Amino acid sequence: ERYGLEVGLKNYAAAYCTGLLVARRLLQKLGLDDVYEGNTEVDGEVVSTEYNKKKYYVEEVDEDRRPFRALLDVGCKPTTTGCRIFGAMKGAADGGLDIPHSNKRFPGYDRDAKEYDADMHRERIFGGHVGEYMEYLDEEDNQKYQEHFASYIENDVEADGLEELYEGVHEKIREDPSPGDKKDYSPDKSFKRKAKLTLDERKARVQAKKDAKNAELEEDDEE
């Protein structure tokens, strides 16, 4: 909400925004945000440069301060082409972090033809795939559109306005990536755990259940 994104918080475009925020906030903390601004013209291309026979994934390497290198750890997450993990990584790379990567897992890469369509990736970064689905549903099944995109409708977010929305989010993140004020937290102290039963109490409880079951069986036999 702070950066103007209130809907679609789990899609590829939102993952990119998260990566961008992480990068800009970290570099600001390290005093590198002015040295490494990252890729301000979002085009989906992989940015890299050679310096002293070493490859860096930034546009230009400063002679006095090297870029902050980060390695992508996907853990147990699937690494299919177009996965949101790579959206977050691309956002962090465009944000100025030096992250070794290629275009082979980005949307727009054709494994058979071994070709990469950067424009397709750019479209995904700006929520183009979401906008297309919104327009499709609106025409083909308006009721489903009203249900599926209820939060978008409530916040007056339209399909043709998504790119402008995400551009604004990127701009606000770059303007002020610093952490927000922490909210005061006061735990609910009204909840109290039940005291544990003693061994004798547990035995008595089990015996009571046995007695009740035996009484039930005796009643069935008498009938």
Rounded distance between C-alpha atoms, residue 151 and residue 45, angstroms: 32
pLDDT, mean over the chain? 92
**131-160 mean pLDDT:** 94
| Position 181 confidence tier, pLDDT thresholds 50, 70, 90 | confident
Tokens representing 44 are: 């989906």
Name the H helices within 31-175. Answer: 84-94, 118-125, 128-140, 142-148, 150-154, 162-175
CA 173 to chain centre: 15
pLDDT of amino acid 222: 67
User: Considering only CA atoms, which of 67, 96, 68, 99 is closest in space to residue 86?
Assistant: 99
> Does residue 223 or residue 7 have the better pLDDT?
7
Contact 31, 67 (CB under 8 A): no
Whether the predicted pLDDT of 55 surpasses 90: yes
Least confident among 16-20, 88-92, 216-220 = 216-220
| Position 8 confidence tier, pLDDT thresholds 50, 70, 90 | very high
Contact 127, 8 (CB under 8 A): yes
Tokens representing 99 are: 């992250």
Whether the predicted pLDDT of 214 surpasses 90: no
Least confident among 6-10, 22-26, 103-107, 193-197 = 193-197
Whether the predicted pLDDT of 93 surpasses 80: yes
Rg of the chain's alpha carbons, rounded to an integer? Answer: 27
Whether the predicted pLDDT of 141 surpasses 70: yes
Whether the predicted pLDDT of 223 surpasses 90: no
**How deeply is 55 buried, as exposed, middle or buried, from its count of CB atoms within 10 A (0-12, 13-18, 19+)?**
exposed
Q: What is the pTM of this model?
A: 0.80
Least confident among 3-12, 52-61, 119-128, 184-193 = 184-193
Tokens representing 170 are: 């990127």
| Position 110 confidence tier, pLDDT thresholds 50, 70, 90 | very high
Rounded distance between C-alpha atoms, residue 146 and residue 138, angstroms: 8
Contact 86, 49 (CB under 8 A): no
Rounded distance between C-alpha atoms, residue 16 and residue 20, angstroms: 6
